[in-house]
Amino acid sequence: MAHRPACGRENIFIQLKYIIMSIMARTIAAAAALLALVASAAAAGCVFENPRPEYNKEDLSSETWCTPREDLQGNRPPGLIYVNRPMLALGVSGIPTLLNAPLALTADDLKAAGVEVALMGVPADVSYARRGSSWGPRAIRNSGDWYPAGFTMPDQYSRVDANGWNLGQGLVIADYGDAPVNPTSWYRSVGSIRAFVREVVETGAIPLIVGGDHAIMYPDVAAVVDVYGKGNVSLVLFDAHYDATKVTFGGEYTQANSIMNLVKEGLVDGSNIIIVGTRSWAPADSDLEWIRGQGIKFYNMPTIDAYGWEQVSNWIIKDLQESSAENVYVTIDLDVFEHIYAPATGTPEPNGLTPKQMLNMVRRLAAETNMVGAEVAEINPLLEPASSVAGSPTTQLVNYLLRQMATGIKMRKDGLTEPWYINSTAIDGGQGQIPKDTKRQFDFST
Ligand SMILES: [Mn+2]
């Protein structure tokens, strides 16, 4: 029998029935999906300490950016994931990772592999200057750092090999991927970044973080303080700017006021903060008054010019060693460098520090103080186009900073913590070709 087409009132009832069923089905599915997201979010990475009006709870994509995939847990034995097939993969080939390190995707991976250094990115853009730093971590991965992971690569000053884990030397280093950053709201990102970094610090790994603009300082430092305790972390800031301004256009957590927030919230004591390399047309007198009032140590460029970098760098190390806080966090804004050395940065200033000064310094900080974390922020590859593809002065400098930090961490592990340690074979390869009474340009012992 031919099917009788529905018509008239009957047709309306059938349509209504389908419309009602469809609405019910969609409502149930949406509710289930939302519940699943909320449940997994609670267990995983979404932390909203400061929800803003733009947070639309009915938007099912609103928590996807911070919710780890469920299959990351329990479907494989935890440990490092080697993403490149050859034994000796150069940076230019294969799947890019930070320092060509193997990956870890969960805290269980870090724990199972005994990861000592967890490299990670925080791809955030909050700055009110030239934006693009969110591309920083990707640019460093793409930079073609040509040193393969796992093979012997001694630092030329200390002769310490932080890289050679394939040979039973070196540190266990992993790329832990990127912190969750909400593309529409920094204020929704802050809590999740803090939780992500805290998760790493809790495993005992030292996070070495690649930014992202310098607003990442607040959640990164807060996470380290969450683990080590309020007042128990010293903070050393290398920056052309002092990052404690009251002028933030109403923003609570910006790239320009992290120092102020960390002090006001009691996370870091002012007397445990050292600011190094500032030289812009600020701080104004009132801000300088605030800095003095907190007991913040301030080695600005006039101080470095007056007393010399070697002297000032010794004072910084001494300040940290004598601090009441047991732990040290190092935050580097790339604009602390003379602009020509790090052109890919958002708020450059001339008259900065040199790679030589800073590379020696970060190795010393990691070796001679109890450095429990560090970050390099304000890498903006959009300002130096080649940097996103094949490396550049800026990206190679960042790779060097990370490698010198790792070297210092390995030196400390090996007990090489004396001031300005350099290996006896570092100068002239230990051949003794330089007469013993030749005066050194710089006496490492002072
Ligand atoms: Mn800064």
Is 50 exceeded by the pLDDT of residue 309? yes
CA distances (Å), origin 183, targets 124, 186, 288, 293, 363: 8, 8, 34, 37, 34
How far is the centre of ligand 1, averaged over its atoms, from the C-alpha of 104 (Å)?
29
Taking Cα atoms as reference points, which of 116, 228, 133 lies closest to residue 176? 116
How far is the centre of ligand 1, averaged over its atoms, from the C-alpha of 228 (Å)?
23
How far is the centre of ligand 1, averaged over its atoms, from the C-alpha of 303 (Å)?
19
Cross-strand partners of 406: none
How far is the centre of ligand 1, averaged over its atoms, from the C-alpha of 409 (Å)?
24
CA distances (Å), origin 421, targets 139, 236, 314, 366: 32, 21, 13, 12
pLDDT tens-place string over residues 85-105: 887 777 778 899 999 999 999
pLDDT tens-place string over residues 4-26: 444 444 454 445 555 555 555 55
pLDDT tens-place string over residues 376-391: 999 999 998 887 777 7
How far is the centre of ligand 1, averaged over its atoms, from the C-alpha of 433 (Å)?
44
Please state, in angstroms and rounded to a whole number, the distance separating the CA atoms of residues 254 and 243: 9
Structure token digits, residue 374: 């560090």
How high is the pLDDT of residue 5? Answer: 41
How high is the pLDDT of residue 3? Answer: 46
Contact between residue 334 and residue 345 where contact means Cβ atoms under 8 Å apart = yes
How far is the centre of ligand 1, averaged over its atoms, from the C-alpha of 256 (Å)?
6
How far is the centre of ligand 1, averaged over its atoms, from the C-alpha of 354 (Å)?
17
How far is the centre of ligand 1, averaged over its atoms, from the C-alpha of 257 (Å)?
9
How far is the centre of ligand 1, averaged over its atoms, from the C-alpha of 402 (Å)?
18
How far is the centre of ligand 1, averaged over its atoms, from the C-alpha of 210 (Å)?
13
Task: Go through 338-348 and write b for each residue having 16 or more CB atoms within 10 A of its CB, e for each that does not.
Answer: beebbbbbbbb
Sign (positive or negative) of CA dihedral 277, 366, 345, 233: negative
What is the rounded average pLDDT for all residues in the chain? Answer: 88
How far is the centre of ligand 1, averaged over its atoms, from the C-alpha of 117 (Å)?
24
CA distances (Å), origin 180, targets 106, 229, 345: 13, 24, 22
How far is the centre of ligand 1, averaged over its atoms, from the C-alpha of 407 (Å)?
25
Is 70 exceeded by the pLDDT of residue 111? yes
How far is the centre of ligand 1, averaged over its atoms, from the C-alpha of 124 (Å)?
13
The total number of residues shown for the chain amounts to 446
Task: Go through 191-221 and write b for each residue having 16 or more CB atoms within 10 A of its CB, e for each that does not.
Answer: bbbbbbbbbbbebebbbbbbbbbbbbbbbbb
How far is the centre of ligand 1, averaged over its atoms, from the C-alpha of 347 (Å)?
9
List of residues 6+ apart from 210 with CB closer than 8 A = 98, 119, 120, 121, 122, 136, 137, 140, 375, 376, 379, 398, 402
How far is the centre of ligand 1, averaged over its atoms, from the C-alpha of 298 (Å)?
14
Please tell me the pTM assigned to this model.
0.88
Homologous superfamily assigned to 68-425: Ureohydrolase domain (3.40.800.10)
How far is the centre of ligand 1, averaged over its atoms, from the C-alpha of 30 (Å)?
42
How far is the centre of ligand 1, averaged over its atoms, from the C-alpha of 325 (Å)?
22
Taking Cα atoms as reference points, which of 234, 236, 255, 232 lies closest to residue 244? 255
First to last CA, the chain: 103
User: Domain spans of the chain?
Assistant: 68-425
How far is the centre of ligand 1, averaged over its atoms, from the C-alpha of 196 (Å)?
21
How far is the centre of ligand 1, averaged over its atoms, from the C-alpha of 107 (Å)?
29
Among 41-45, 186-190, 424-428, the range scoring the smallest mean pLDDT is: 41-45
